[in-house]
Amino acid sequence: MDLFEQEPKKSTVSANEPLSVRRWPATLAEYAGQRHLLGPGKLLTRAIESDRLSSVVFYGPPGTGKTTLANVIARETKAHFEPLNAVTSNVAEIRKAIVDAKRRLATGKKTILFIDEIHRFNKAQQDVLMPDVERGNPILIGATTHNPFFSIVPALLSRSLVFELKPLSEDELTSVLNRAIGDSERGLGKIKLEVDADALAFLAKVSDGDARRALNALELAAVTTKPENGTVRVTRPIAEESIQKKAVVYDHDEDAHYDTASAFIKSMRGSDPDAAIYYLAKMLYAGEDVRFITRRLVIFAAEDVGNADPQAIVVAVAAMQAADFIGMPEAQIPLAQAVTYLACSPKSNAAYKAIGAAWEDVATGKTLEVPEHLKDTHYSGAARLGHGKGYKYPHDYEGHVVDQEYLSSRKRYYEPTEQGYEKNFKRYLDALRQQTRPT
């Protein structure tokens, strides 16, 4: 389900409805967030304003306003809004909605058929929609939290525009909350209410971009807090209790953020999976950007594990892709697997040290000329310049190794360790160097 998930039936709202329902926007101007879709001149805005909207699919996390936007579009285009939920609806209900839409069109009124959780429809149910959707009546708006390119049949998807809705930013959520506090008709304006700045910021932060969650937590805090001298004051501890999430000292771009990230890396480097998994949990709980974490896992796998376990970077990259694909909260599972794998892997920074030393030589030393026998020969005239002359193709020799120079100056950058799998590299290179390039 999505933000403001019930269609308003009346021009007025009931005081018994949740704040998130009472604050349902009636126009695009009141709609919060999604500026990448609804900014001036954007395709979706132009389609709505010109009443030329074709069938669309909105996808994104809960609370980002998929249902809300569909309802606002119906209001803006003066279309009938017909909501269905794919979990509870069947083919008969779909057919009835389509028949009703045809009857309305005969009287000049369009129908927006809104299907929440459209990914729950099976292929047969989705196929029922296609002939009429293709003709433009009803106008289909599907909503899903799943990537539609994986969950909706291609034939239906090809007849629809796809728009990704993103979580609201903390600034956008703060604005939503402030408007609700000041709205005496549909918000909390009839209450003499003071909300501490840090309480408001906390609700905006821990709601994870979900406006419904933020609004309902604010209302719970406001109506359950005992007034003092006629004023209800919402503090940060009250906000924490109302949203049932403890505040964690973890401010982005400040010491707690960097200290935790540092401890996370150093715990994996120190082969302590328990400490590493704790810091992972702390970062995720505090709302850290998952990409910030996965980037560091990939870097760590190459820098601190390296060739001691060549599979480490494979696991880290797989976790990065999995986390991006499935999102939170489930992303914590592949992340936990990757963190414990990296913490328990043998460690080597030999590859990291090698590139550092080579970089330093390139940056500060004399540039080494490429030996003539290694230069490119894939162009006319290369042979006349002597390029490639004398090159020995290693696969033509015993052991697929041959003694020849690959640098114009003797250098040693990579020194493999005895750790894990890398000891195999060390033994191989030691024997090879003794055979072909003894020092």
Q: Given the DSSP bridges, would you call strands 80-85 and 56-59 parallel, antiparallel or unpaired?
A: unpaired
Handedness of CA 90, 91, 96, 99 (dihedral sign): positive
Q: Is 78 left (phi over 0), alpha (psi -120 to 50) or beta?
A: left
Whether residues 54 and 126 fall in one domain: yes
CA-nearest of 360, 320, 363, 324 to 338 is: 320
pLDDT at 274: 93
Task: For the chain, report the end-to-end CA distance as a whole number of angstroms.
Answer: 70
User: Is 357 domain-assigned?
Assistant: no
Token pair of 96, please? 């009835």
Residues contacting 71, CB < 8 A, separation 6+ = 4, 7, 8, 24, 81, 114
Q: How many domains does the chain have?
A: 4
129 and 229: one domain?
A: no
Cα–Cα distance measured from residue 420 to residue 429, given in angstroms and rounded to the nearest whole number: 15
Q: What is the CATH number of the domain that holds 405?
A: 1.10.3710
So what's the pLDDT on residue 13? 54
pLDDT digit string (tens) for 70-79? 989 998 889 9
In angstroms, the CA 145 to CA 5 distance is 14
Here the CATH number for the domain that contains residue 182 is 1.10.8.60
Q: Give dist(CA 251, CA 259) in Å, integer.
A: 10
Degrees, nearest 5: CA angle 93-98-103: 125
Same domain flag for 303 and 228: no
Specify whether 395 is located in the same domain as 429.
Answer: yes
For the whole model, what pTM was predicted? Answer: 0.53
State the CATH number of the domain containing residue 123.
3.40.50.300
User: Are 29 and 129 found together in one domain?
Assistant: yes
Span 214-226, pLDDT tens digits: 998 999 999 999 9
| Residue that is written with structure tokens 């560091």 in the block | 296
In terms of DSSP H, where are the helices of 286-329?
290-300, 311-326
Structure tokens at 79: 């279309």
Q: Is residue 360 in a domain?
A: no
Q: Is residue 5 part of a domain?
A: no
Q: Does residue 4 form part of some domain?
A: no
CA angle 287, 145, 14 (to 5 degrees): 85
Q: What is the residue range of 198's domain? A: 170-243
Among 390, 389, 388, 385, CA closest to 376: 388
**By C-alpha distance, which of 357, 19, 334, 333 is closest to 177?**
19
User: Both 126 and 47 in a single domain?
Assistant: yes
What tens digit of pLDDT does each residue of 82-131 get? 999 988 888 899 999 999 999 999 998 999 999 999 988 888 888 888 88
Task: Identify residue 250 by its one-letter amino acid code.
Answer: Y
| Pairwise CA distance, residues 294 & 300, whole Å | 10
Positions of the chain with pLDDT lower than 50, given as ranges = 1-12, 438-439
- Domain stops at, among 190, 220, 243: 243
> Which CATH number goes with the domain that contains 301?
1.20.272.10
Residue 310 belongs to a domain: yes
Specify whether 179 is located in the same domain as 146: no
* Residue 356 domain-assigned (yes or no): no
Same domain assignment for residues 377 and 398: yes
Cα separation, 377 vs 387, in Å, equals: 6
The answer to the question of residue 249 being in a domain is: no
Cβ-contact 357, 413 below 8 angstroms? yes
Query: Does 70 map to a domain?
Result: yes
For residues 37 and 139, membership in a common domain is answered with yes
* Residue 98 and residue 60 in one domain: yes
Distance CA 312, CA 295 (A): 14
One domain, residues 287 and 333: yes
Residue type for 21, please? V
Q: Which residues contact 50 (CB under 8 A, 6 or more apart)?
A: none
The domain boundary residue, chosen from 100, 133, 164: 164
Enter the tokens of residue 51.
Answer: 């009443």
- Are residue 231 and residue 292 in the same domain, yes or no? no
Give the list of residues 6+ apart from residue 32 with CB closer than 8 angstroms, or none: 25, 65, 168, 172, 173, 175, 176, 211
DSSP state of 374: G
| Close Cβ partners of 65 (under 8 Å, ≥ 6 residues apart) | 2, 3, 4, 31, 32, 33, 34, 165, 168, 211
